[in-house]
Amino acid sequence: MEKSNSYNNVSVLIVGAGPAGLSAAITLKKAKPELDVVVIDKAQAPGNHNLSGAVLEPAAIAKLLDPIDPQWAESDAAKAVLLSRVDKDDVMFLLGKKMAFGIECAIKMAISFKLGFGQMSHHNDYICSVSKLTAWLCSIAQKLGVEVLHGFAAKDILWDSASHTATGVKLVDQGLDKESHKQRNYLPGETIHAKHVLLAEGCDGLLSETFIKKAGLKRQGNQLYSIGVKELIKVSDAQYQKFGAGRVVHAMGYPIWTPLIGPAMFGGGIMYPMGGNHIAVGMIVGLDYKYCDFNPQDALTLFKEHKFVKQFIDGGTVTEAGAKMIPEGGLYALPRDPATNAIGRSNVALLGDSAGFVNMLKIKGLHNAIDSGMAAAQAVADNLDTPLGLAGAYTRLLEQTTVLKEMDSAKSFRQTVARFGPLQGMPLSVLGGLLPKFHIEPDYQEMTTAQYRMKPSVKFDKDTFTAVAATHHREEEPCHLLIQDENICITQCWPKFGAPCITFCPAGVYETVHNEVKAANPSNCLHCKTCQRKCPFDNIRWTVPEGAGGPRYKTM
Ligand code: SF4
């Protein structure tokens, strides 16, 4: 779609065409067809920047789509996206390279004793690709008349500190060269003014974090992140049948956690069937890990080589891959207006992963993203003439839905594991609300000189990983990864930690060039933002590249 001045002044501007933003757009346009609702997204096409496991609770999507079409579940589109229901919910503990124990009985026991861990059950949830889910929701929104503009990358939120309101957002300039000189195709970033602004950019969103600072929102505790690296593997008919089209696997233990002897990292492996003989295999690791030489992709390789996993994927072909951060801090990390407790301020609301609505006891946030989008739509509809009431109304609605109740029920889990480590923290977290709020340092401060001892036999091929992620940026544009003080890299980070960004960046963006650490390959960037949160000197800033840059996920 061509950029046009007609978007300069809109009633509702939604930043981010993911499940949260599109749920807001769909609900709002259905309720108020006359309202101009515009969604902007930095990806080139719907779903290109969306990656998750994913299992989706049926209630959220039904609540969203029932008012649009009560028969939606019977449509070909729904069947193509919501592939199957979970009928086998394996929770495994992997010990060493060969042993695997099913620990579903622990989950069943937790359900019967009404313990928080019981939330980890995924039975009857949909198995889906979030890229495909997003593309489908985008088509539904567009049919209702929502303007969804892809390739529109926003670099700033315009915040009037006198009136404490957002007036709109500023898009990134296009057509600059590496030194930020204007080229012949230069286009200054437009300003889109809006009455209501919904921020639904996903984890660690640039505008969301800028807004949090500008509007003075505070978190009770630091946000914690994890990195997920994922591959889609085409396997044989026999392997796919053996795995099962309705089976999901969540595995703890090897290769990131071995009780007593280490390593000791929070996270685990996942396996989901994705149709067409494809199995998604992923590794999620809390960024509060301490090993300066750790590469999450090495952990993925070791997981794939484990005897239990290998039987299903051996000889398969990786057809797609990607990486993304997950906000894990939970209730204490929700950014709130200190005066009103609102998750947003005046005419701005934070939705989905932008706010941090991931329930780590469920290992899921997709249903909360959809629910938060619907709540934001309702809040806008109720405050059309009183936009400053948006954030407060939105938060009151979240309190009435399951979103904040769930976040409250899981509030101690991830914090306790971060404070005490997986061995003591997991069992201790059973005490739930009886536990105090622990102070948790930001992830980057947890880096130490400790080494991750388990190395795969083969070096992970990051070039192939980024190739199948189909990531792309214009080679001549300015580097969007800013090392704030290059001197720190060489004089402090390299001697102490060996420049961990070179190792942990899943796209191989960072390299040593003439004895300096550089973001040498920014065009490979997958927009995961790990470098911004795990550089041990907090010395990297991810800024937004030109619109349409980044990965082009289709089935992630
Ligand atoms: Fe992720 Fe940063 Fe690497 Fe880009 S440069 S892929 S944001 S770690």
DSSP string, 298-320: HHHHHHHHSHHHHHHHTT-EEEE
Check: CB of residue 447 under 8 Å from CB of residue 531: no
Give the pLDDT confidence score for residue 6 in this predicted structure.
56
pLDDT in tens, 445-484: 999 999 998 989 888 999 999 999 999 999 999 999 999 9
* Dist. CA 53–CA 127, nearest whole Å: 8
Q: What counts of helices (H) and strands (E) characterise the chain?
A: 19, 24
Residue whose CA is closest, atom 3 of ligand 1?
Answer: 505
Domain range 84-128+223-327, CATH class: alpha beta
CB of 505 shorter than 6 A to ligand 1: yes
CB of 342 shorter than 6 A to ligand 1: no
Residue whose CA is closest, atom 1 of ligand 1?
Answer: 528
> What is the number of the ligand 1 atom nearest to the C-alpha of 540?
2
Q: How many CB atoms lie within 10 A of CB 154?
A: 27
Give the pLDDT confidence score for residue 110 in this predicted structure.
73
Domain with CATH 3.50.50.60 in the chain: 2-77+130-219+334-409
Give all strands (DSSP E) within 328-465, no chain letters: 344-345, 348-350
Q: What is the CATH number of domain 2-77+130-219+334-409?
A: 3.50.50.60
pLDDT in tens, 36-67: 999 999 999 999 999 998 999 999 999 999 99
**In sequence order, which residues have a C-beta less than 8 Å from that of residue 496 and are 6 or more positions away?**
292, 449, 536
- Residue 507 Cα, ligand 1 centroid: separation in angstroms? 6
CB of 540 shorter than 6 A to ligand 1: no
Mean pLDDT calculated for residue range 247-252? 96
| Nearest Cα to Cα of residue 127 among 175, 156, 88 | 88
- DSSP letter (8 states) at residue 148: E
- In this model, does residue 104 exceed pLDDT 80? no
Give the pLDDT confidence score for residue 434 in this predicted structure.
87
Domain with CATH 3.30.70.20 in the chain: 462-542
Residue whose CA is closest, atom 4 of ligand 1?
Answer: 525
Which of the listed residues 49, 527, 553 should we mutate to test ligand 1's pocket, taking the one with most ligand atoms within 8 A of CB?
527
Domain with CATH 3.30.9.90 in the chain: 84-128+223-327
- Residue 502 Cα, ligand 1 centroid: separation in angstroms? 10
- Residue 519 Cα, ligand 1 centroid: separation in angstroms? 9
The two tokens of residue 178 are 């590496």
Sign of dihedral through CA atoms 529, 522, 169, 380?
A: negative
CB of 529 shorter than 6 A to ligand 1: yes
Burial class (CB in 10 A: 0-12, 13-18, 19+), 333: buried
pLDDT in tens, 126-137: 999 999 999 999
pLDDT confidence tier of residue 431, bands split at 50, 70 and 90: confident
Give the pLDDT confidence score for residue 482 in this predicted structure.
98
Domain range 462-542, CATH class: alpha beta
Which of the listed residues 225, 511, 528, 535 should we mutate to test ligand 1's pocket, taking the one with most ligand atoms within 8 A of CB?
528
For the whole model, what pTM was predicted?
Answer: 0.97
Residue whose CA is closest, atom 2 of ligand 1?
Answer: 531
Check: CB of residue 465 under 8 Å from CB of residue 321: yes
Give the pLDDT confidence score for residue 114 in this predicted structure.
72
CB of 531 shorter than 6 A to ligand 1: yes
Which of the listed residues 525, 527, 544, 553 should we mutate to test ligand 1's pocket, taking the one with most ligand atoms within 8 A of CB?
525
CB of 527 shorter than 6 A to ligand 1: yes
Which of the listed residues 542, 544, 553 should we mutate to test ligand 1's pocket, taking the one with most ligand atoms within 8 A of CB?
542
Q: Which of helix, strand or coil describes residue 143?
A: helix
> What is the number of the ligand 1 atom nearest to the C-alpha of 522?
5
* Dist. CA 529–CA 535, nearest whole Å: 10
Higher pLDDT, 290 or 453: 290
pLDDT in tens, 518-540: 999 999 999 999 999 999 999 99
Give the pLDDT confidence score for residue 4 in this predicted structure.
41
